């Protein structure tokens, strides 16, 4: 469930998922630098894929929210989620990724571990998603109507009970967000590790292809659910 600590820097534990996350961050920054440097009017294949991805998520946001007004508020976070989760998911499919080990206290410890197979990271991503959703809710419908979702004395005690259900719903959302991504990526990582140990050549290829597909699907599901929850919380039901 959790990552392995490799060392401590000034009391801060550096785990194998932290190392993987830093590598992914470097990859993303290199991609941004490369794209900015090589952006062309006549796009190359990579630029076409990137532009198509942006248009794809813009269309989804517009269809779900039925408005272009919120596009610029939602799109940066959504696309950042997608790229970060997708590249982290893809790292598990790299041959030999989980074979790099060293021995610590007579136990083998993986130097690298898929960050999205660590509950700490998926919980952090879910927390960011939920906090951003509540921030946008306050921004678009106002603090008064936002608080009325949770604290409402009208038709007491029915709406008070509904408010409590909303609070429990947010807690459940945080848990489901975290465990959906974590569970799928951890399971895939374990399956590939087992397959590699049994037959390192040829046989793992279909499983790698399947896990690539699962990686994309899980990244898309995470961002689409975030868009849906953002729309629900920013929609003014009194209009």
Residue 29 domain flag? no
| Percent of the chain clearing pLDDT 90 (strictly above) | 22
Q: What is the pLDDT of residues 65-109, one digit of tens each?
A: 887 888 888 899 999 999 999 999 988 777 667 667 766 666 677
Residue 24 domain flag? no
- Note the pLDDT of residue 2: 58
Mean pLDDT of the chain: 83
Tell me: cis bond preceding 157? Omega within 30 of 0 counts.
yes
Does residue 212 register a pLDDT over 80? yes
Q: Whole-prediction pTM value? A: 0.85
- Note the pLDDT of residue 123: 92
Residue 5 domain flag? no
Domain limits for position 145: 52-100+112-234
Residue 197 domain flag? yes
Does residue 134 register a pLDDT over 60? yes
Residue 122 domain flag? yes
Residue 7 domain flag? no
Distances (CA, A) of 33 to 9, 27, 135, 178, 222: 29, 10, 30, 31, 26
The whole-number average pLDDT for the span 135-143 is: 88
Residue 123 domain flag? yes
The whole-number average pLDDT for the span 132-147 is: 87
Overall domain count for the chain: 1
- Note the pLDDT of residue 223: 93
Residue 26 domain flag? no
DSSP-assigned letters across all residues of 166-223: HHHHHHHHHHHHHHHHHHHHHHHHHHHHHHHHH--SSTHHHHHHHHHHHHHHHHHHHH
Does residue 238 register a pLDDT over 50? no
- Note the pLDDT of residue 221: 93
């Amino acid at each position: 469930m959790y990552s392995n600590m490799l060392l401590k820097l000034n009391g801060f534990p550096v785990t194998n998922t932290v190392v993987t996350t830093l590598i992914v961050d470097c990859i993303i920054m290199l991609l941004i630098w490369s794209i900015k440097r090589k952006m062309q009017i006549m796009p190359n294949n990579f630029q076409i894929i990137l532009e198509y991805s942006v248009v794809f998520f813009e269309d989804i946001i517009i269809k779900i929210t039925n408005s272009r007004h919120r596009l610029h508020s939602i799109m940066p976070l959504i696309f950042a989620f997608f790229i970060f989760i997708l590249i982290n998911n893809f790292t598990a499919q790299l041959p030999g990724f989980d074979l790099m080990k060293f021995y610590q206290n007579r136990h083998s410890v993986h130097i690298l571990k898929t960050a999205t197979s660590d509950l700490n990271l998926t919980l952090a991503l879910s927390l960011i998603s939920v906090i951003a959703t509540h921030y946008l809710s306050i921004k678009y419908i106002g603090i008064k109507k936002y608080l009325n979702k949770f604290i409402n004395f009208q038709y007491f005690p029915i709406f008070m009970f509904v408010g409590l259900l909303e609070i429990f719903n947010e807690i459940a959302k945080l848990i489901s967000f975290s465990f959906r991504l974590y569970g799928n990526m951890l399971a895939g990582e374990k399956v590939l590790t087992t397959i590699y140990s049994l037959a390192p050549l040829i046989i793992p290829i279909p499983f790698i292809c399947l896990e690539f597909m699962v990686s994309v699907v899980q990244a898309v599901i995470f961002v689409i659910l975030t868009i849906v929850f953002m729309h629900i919380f920013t929609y003014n039901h009194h209009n």
